[in-house]
Amino acid sequence: MDKLIEYQIPHKGLSIGQHDYNFHVDDKFFVDKQVDTINGGNLEVHFVLDKQSRLMQADISIIGTIALICDRCLDNFDYEININHNQIFKFGISSDIHNEDIIYLEEANHFIDASELIMENILLQIPIKKVHPDDEDGNSTCKTEQLNLIDDYAKREQTDSRWDVLKNIKFDD
């Protein structure tokens, strides 16, 4: 939590009206957030908090790239992120558990954790199938050396029976 202190927005003392925040998200952010599906990133976040008397709204824009691990060749590739998200905050305790679009801020909670919102929005953008994009000619841009290595390894696994004996070893916990 302390590591990402700059993402804590103290809404309690804010005046009514709009407040602008800018964040630069880099590799360290994903290390601190302990997200292992994302290997790094370079993103600009513009966070506009509009405080009204009974609720707050945040307009969050996140633009840049994240580094994902390719499912096919296991090398990193940059994945473009361009998000615009509107988030509503209300004060008090949720009366409607089915409404997931609204974040309820309890009396004792004086901060909005922008890092959580940024993280959640980025995670929603990760494709199910993570592979290097094709180039203009429709050819894969995967690292061929890596693919060959994986191929070799797979073949060796199939033919090398010397290790089969290991499969029968039982480990006690």
Chain residues in the site for Zn ion (CB under 5 A): 70, 72-73, 132, 142
Least spacing, CB of residue 66 vs Zn ion, in Å: 15
Tokens of 23: 């964040």
- Taking the least distance from each CB to Zn ion, the nearer of 72 and 85 is 72
Q: State the residue for tokens 């600009």.
A: 44
- Taking the least distance from each CB to Zn ion, the nearer of 25 and 73 is 73
Which residue blocks in the chain are alpha helix, DSSP H?
27-32, 114-123, 144-159
**Sequence-distant contacts of 18-21: CB under 8 A, at least 24 apart:** 18/48, 18/49, 18/50, 18/51, 19/48, 19/49, 19/50, 19/51, 20/46, 20/47, 20/48, 20/49, 21/46, 21/47, 21/48, 21/49, 21/114
- Taking the least distance from each CB to Zn ion, the nearer of 48 and 67 is 67
Rounded to an integer, what distance in angstroms lies between the CA atom of residue 89 and that of residue 38?
A: 28
Rounded to an integer, what distance in angstroms lies between the CA atom of residue 58 and that of residue 17?
A: 11
Least spacing, CB of residue 89 vs Zn ion, in Å: 40
- Taking the least distance from each CB to Zn ion, the nearer of 11 and 132 is 132
- Taking the least distance from each CB to Zn ion, the nearer of 34 and 139 is 139
Least spacing, CB of residue 92 vs Zn ion, in Å: 48
Least spacing, CB of residue 136 vs Zn ion, in Å: 17
Least spacing, CB of residue 50 vs Zn ion, in Å: 42
